[in-house]
Structure 1
Amino acid sequence: MAELEKNDYDSFDALAYADKKYSSMSEWMAVPLKGIHGAFESYCIGEKKTGINVLEYGCGPVPVYLCSAPRFASEIVFADFAKSNTDALQRWVSDTPGCPDYTHFFQYVIKDLEGCTDQATLATAISKRQADLRSVVKGVVFCDITQDNPIESGYEGPYDIVYSSLCLCVAATNIKEYSDNVKRLTKLLKPGGMLIINDVEARDLSKNIITYTVNNNKFEALCPTSEALRQVLEENGYHDIKMSRNLIDETEGAAQRMSPEVLAMRFIVARH
């Protein structure tokens, strides 16, 4: 079992990470935002679901991946292992003066994905969407996917949608541990619910661990092959698995924000 060592993340500078990765909108960020937007619409509009509850597991310090969620969700929980991340995100949720501004991501979702182009209407819609997201946040809480009870008590769900970006891969060193982590995450999901994963694929397929740095501190991530990842999901009871890839070298803004060891971003949607 891979154990996350708390002191490994005590040095994690959440604001430096947010500034490096989320200071501007780019094609690199458009990839998951498009994917999540489409997943929410297929689940909620396609199946006429409202008032759903959503968990972002391994949220990091930013709220941007759930820009689309307030249209459908009555309750959202953000969860992360690193206290620096939950502290930074709580500042945004509380609208603390001086917290980072993520307006450019909300603008992209509302203008480019939802089609609101009138400038006066757009400004109001962006402000309202951010307020709506803040209002439905039930909590910003601690989680540890390597534990049998992987989330703070009182936030176990089950959830209609669980989204996780670059979390499962940093908490495992081999495919067995990765599968165990998926199993724990699945316990938080309702039967028939949707799991959304955003992760990366290594350039060297023979090397399933990549490294990346934040503020000169080195971290590692497991990169299972797409075939291995699909098998893990199927073994954990998932079906209707959709997986897409976007090459780093062909995606504007990605090479500057991703480890040079990464070949592609993967976006996975699966039903349980």
Structure 2
Amino acid sequence: MASDEQTETPLYDKFSAKTYLKSNYSVGADGIPDSHEDWLPWLLNNLKDTFAGGKLSGKRLLDVGTGPAIHNLISAARVFPNITCAEYCQENREEVEKWVRGEEDAFDWAPFIKYVCGLEGDSDWEARQVALRDAIKHVVFCDVREERPLGTFDGGPYDVVSSMFLLSTVGKDRADFDEILSKLGSLVKPGGTLVLVCDLEATHYTDGRVSYPLITLDAPYVRQAVRNCGFKDVQDDILFFRSTEGMNWDGTSYIYLTARKCAE
């Protein structure tokens, strides 16, 4: 596994990957991931349908904005033996690498792997855990605001590029969103697939101390922006929240979207 040694700006000086994981990723006594109005089961079910449905082909997947978490790659490892995790924050990259190496103080993703394998009807979750660790070949620095988001790492184009909850957090407005989306789209090979998850109708989120602005998006805009970047067969699923009380953001819903890049 190759890792990029670049570091990020002071924005993440006080960020704690372990605190973030402990606060956001837990599993109930019933084995179901615990989250507000079951958004985590919703996400994992959509990923299962995408990657376990037999519709995708190829070997190489790029996940942009992985953070310190690998839950969104569990189903992908069933299909793709070569996964690159691209992440801005050094501490997040280190946390992923600890898990890949099986270090004692790494976050325990076993309950999530068991849950996803249960969704897929696969009883051998330990084999999936091994497969995922083997599949993560690279953990690299990424800054989607740069012309070359992956810097000197030249791994593209990819059969699949995925990005979860990233695009609305790193720009100032919809023009920035369009530009960043175009950069991600350029990393997908013709005929390849884009998997995107975005906040909808949100203006900000908070870590409990500081409030951070978000690009306010709606579903029609996201769909059209993806088409404008040269994608077709756009399909999506929207999770509407009945209440956001107790959440760290003020949106109304999440969108899970997949699209196929047009052939050149």
Q: Check whether TM > 0.5.
A: yes
CA contact (8 A) 2:51 2:78 kept: no
Mapped partners of 1:129, 1:53: distance in 2: 17
Aligned to 2:133: 134
CA contact (8 A) 2:52 2:120 kept: no
Query: Within the alignment, does 1:31 sit opposite 2:34 as a pair?
Result: no
Higher RCO (CA 8 Å, separation ≥ 6 residues): 1
1:211-265 deviation per Cα after TM superposition (whole angstroms, max 9, x unaligned): 2222524333213111211221111111111122111227xxx754x33412111
Mapped partners of 1:115, 1:6: distance in 2: 43
User: How far did 1:40 drift?
Assistant: 1.6
Query: Within the alignment, does 1:222 sit opposite 2:215 as a pair?
Result: yes
CA contact (8 A) 2:63 2:86 kept: yes
Mapped partners of 1:46, 1:231: distance in 2: 23
Aligned to 1:205: none
Mapped partners of 1:131, 1:65: distance in 2: 16
Query: Within the alignment, does 1:46 sit opposite 2:91 as a pair?
Result: no
CA contact (8 A) 1:11 1:217 kept: no
Query: Within the alignment, does 1:22 sit opposite 2:25 as a pair?
Result: yes
Query: Within the alignment, does 1:268 sit opposite 2:257 as a pair?
Result: yes
Mapped partners of 1:154, 1:174: distance in 2: 28
CA contact (8 A) 1:10 1:82 kept: no
Mapped partners of 2:95, 2:84: distance in 1: 15
CA contact (8 A) 2:207 2:248 kept: no
Aligned to 1:108: 115
User: How far did 1:23 drift?
Assistant: 2.2
1:43-68 deviation per Cα after TM superposition (whole angstroms, max 9, x unaligned): xx236x3x511111000101111111
User: How far did 1:9 drift?
Assistant: 2.2
For residues 1-272 of structure 1, the aligned pairs below 5 Å read: 6-24=9-27, 25-26=33-34, 27-42=38-53, 45-46=54-55, 49=57, 52-111=59-118, 113-116=119-122, 122=123, 125-202=124-201, 210-214=203-207, 216-249=209-242, 256=246, 258-272=247-261
After superposition, the Cα gap between the structure-2 partners of 1:85 and 1:72, relative to the gap in structure 1 and judged at 3 Å, is: same
Return the letter of the residue paired with 2:55.
G
User: How far did 1:71 drift?
Assistant: 1.5
SS, match of residue 222 in structure 1: coil
After superposition, the Cα gap between the structure-2 partners of 1:148 and 1:68, relative to the gap in structure 1 and judged at 3 Å, is: same
Task: Report the count of equivalent residues.
Answer: 246
User: How far did 1:144 drift?
Assistant: 0.4
* Superposition RMSD in Å: 1.8
User: How far did 1:10 drift?
Assistant: 2.4
1:201-220 deviation per Cα after TM superposition (whole angstroms, max 9, x unaligned): 12xxxxxx522222524333
Mapped partners of 2:163, 2:111: distance in 1: 22
SS, match of residue 160 in structure 1: strand
* Residue range with higher mean Cα deviation, 10-19 or 187-196: 10-19
Identity score, percent: 27
User: How far did 1:150 drift?
Assistant: 0.3
Q: Which structure 2 residue ranges, 5 or more long, are not aligned?
A: 1-7, 28-32
Return the letter of the residue paired with 1:171.
V
SS, match of residue 150 in structure 1: coil
User: How far did 1:155 drift?
Assistant: 4.1
Return the letter of the residue paired with 2:102.
D
